[in-house]
Amino acid sequence: GHSKAINIVDFVRVLLDILFHRLDYHLALMNTVTVLPQIGRSVKVISFLAKVKAQVEVNKGPTPEELKAAALERAKQAMAKESEKIFGKIKCLSCLVANMRRETDIDAEYVRIEIKKLTQRAIQEIYARERELLEQVDLLVRDANTTLDGQYKQLSSLKQQFVNKETSCGERLEREVDHEDTATPAPLIAYGENIQQTLNYLKSNEATYRRRWVGFRTANEPNFKNTVKVLGFVGISDPRSVRPWRSVGREGVGHGEFRGPVGIDIDKIRGDIAVSDFENHRIQVIDKFEEVQGVFGSKGTESGYMKGPNDVKCDKDGRFIIADTFNHRISWFDSKREHIQSIGRKGNQPGEFDRPRSLAITTEGNIVVADTGNQRIQVFSSDGDYLFSFGDLGKGPGQFKGPHGLAIDSENNVYVADLYNHRIQVFTSTGKFLRTFGKEGRLPGELSEPRAIAFTPPPEPGTTGNLLVAEMENQRVACSAAMDSTYV
């Protein structure tokens, strides 16, 4: 009866009994032999049930979570494939851009070299043509002077003849009067009056024939490149005629030689000339005998070095103040040419600079700076403390487009050469706009890129001299009255 009722549970229970209660081995063996057929049938049933369950699970299908996970996985795989394609295209485009950039750089360098060659060739042709014209002018001047000399000699000879006739007429008149001959004095007197009128006319026109032609440049001074020219005034018949008095320097890197002398000022204490030697990155000091008294500065960014100094000014204490243009700062040097201090750095905040080009010193000793890149004027104390600024980019009154040259008149007004607006603007010492004059052109009173300005010595104390304007595009120096800005 026990063996008939046995099943898989009983089999497990028998095994437990064997393990835990240590039944008789023979009994266990007997039960095991009896149970084995039942176990086989139970295993078959379990396998069948498992197959049925699996079939049911297959027919049931995946759950929503599984479908979502599968979709996300497929999307990730698709995105990965597309990303690989996109990255491949980006890499190809990067290579193409790099190649184009290299080709563009090569083309730009070639164009730059060709433009430089063409420019140099054009400059050489212009200089050659200039020399030819100057030689022709010199020949014409010599011919004119020869003609004038001949006319002056003829005039002098004629004058002497009339002087002799005047003397002879006077003697005859005296003799006739002594003889009391009343018939002859009247013709003699008329004749003497005609001679006197002729002499007066000859004397009044003598200065015209004595005038000598003077050229502003001669064949042995073909241009102003890398020279410092001192201008003098010729007062024969036209006191406004201007010619070079003498020239100092030539192109080079030695003492007394220049490569772009762009700024100049007079040392008020010693009377020396300070010149900013732009491309040599230094300042040269020359005395009135054209001897170099000192050279200071060299290329660099550290204190005491310079990088394209564009202007130099000497204050009343004999100090040198430098517009260190491409170091974007203003530097002070003492009378012994030792560095004192520098202010500023590249920027557009108060006290910062962007290529300062020009300087001026007011009667109070304040330093006025043309902050060219920032299109404004900044004002500092004599010790370099920031005070105020004025101006911005534009074409209106008080606005600038490349402020360059600066000058101060006797009333402490500030004159600014507004380079690319082709005009001169005038401000008070506090930066208030007063007036402007000049417009673009080549006619008298018109300007084209005025770069540097300065006043001539005043005719008397308390007054202001005329304003000289160096026009870069017109290659000339214009002169205007400072008070009403009229063209002189």
Tens of pLDDT, residues 137-154: 777 777 777 777 777 677
Question: What pairs with residue 383 in β-bridges?
Answer: none
Tokens of 14: 């028998």
Q: pLDDT at position 456, please? A: 87
**Is the confidence at residue 433, as pLDDT, over 50?**
yes
Q: Residues 264, 265, 266, CA angle at the centre, nearest 5°?
A: 140
**Is the confidence at residue 61, as pLDDT, over 70?**
no
Tokens 């049933």 belong to: 45
Q: pLDDT at position 111, please? A: 77
Q: Where is pLDDT greater, at 239 or 421?
A: 421
- Measured CA to CA, the distance from residue 206 to residue 151 in angstroms comes to 10
369 in Cβ contact with 344 (< 8 Å): no
**Is the confidence at residue 220, as pLDDT, over 50?**
no
**Is the confidence at residue 320, as pLDDT, over 60?**
yes
The number of CA neighbours under 13 Å toward the Cβ of 27 is 9
- Measured CA to CA, the distance from residue 124 to residue 134 in angstroms comes to 15
What is the mean predicted confidence (pLDDT) over 375-399?
95
Question: What pairs with residue 423 in β-bridges?
Answer: 418
User: Residue 19: which pLDDT band, with cuts at 50, 70 and 90?
Assistant: low
What is the mean predicted confidence (pLDDT) over 52-70?
66
User: Residue 195: which pLDDT band, with cuts at 50, 70 and 90?
Assistant: low
Q: By CB neighbour count within 10 A (0-12 exposed, 13-18 middle, 19+ buried), where does 445 fall?
A: middle
Mean pLDDT of the chain: 78
102 in Cβ contact with 109 (< 8 Å): no
Q: pLDDT at position 340, please? A: 95
Q: pLDDT at position 42, please? A: 64
Q: Where is pLDDT greater, at 341 or 121?
A: 341
Write the CB contacts of 358 (distance below 8 Å, at least 6 apart in sequence): 263, 310, 311, 323, 369, 370, 372, 403, 404, 405, 406, 417, 452
Would you list the DSSP string of 418-479? Answer: EGGGTEEEEE-TTS-EEEEE--BSSSTT-BSSEEEEEEPPPSSTT---PEEEEETTTTEEEE
- Measured CA to CA, the distance from residue 358 to residue 264 in angstroms comes to 10
State pLDDT tens for residues 261-311: 999 999 888 889 999 999 999 999 998 888 899 999 999 999 999 999 999
**Is the confidence at residue 452, as pLDDT, over 80?**
yes
What is the mean predicted confidence (pLDDT) over 42-66?
65
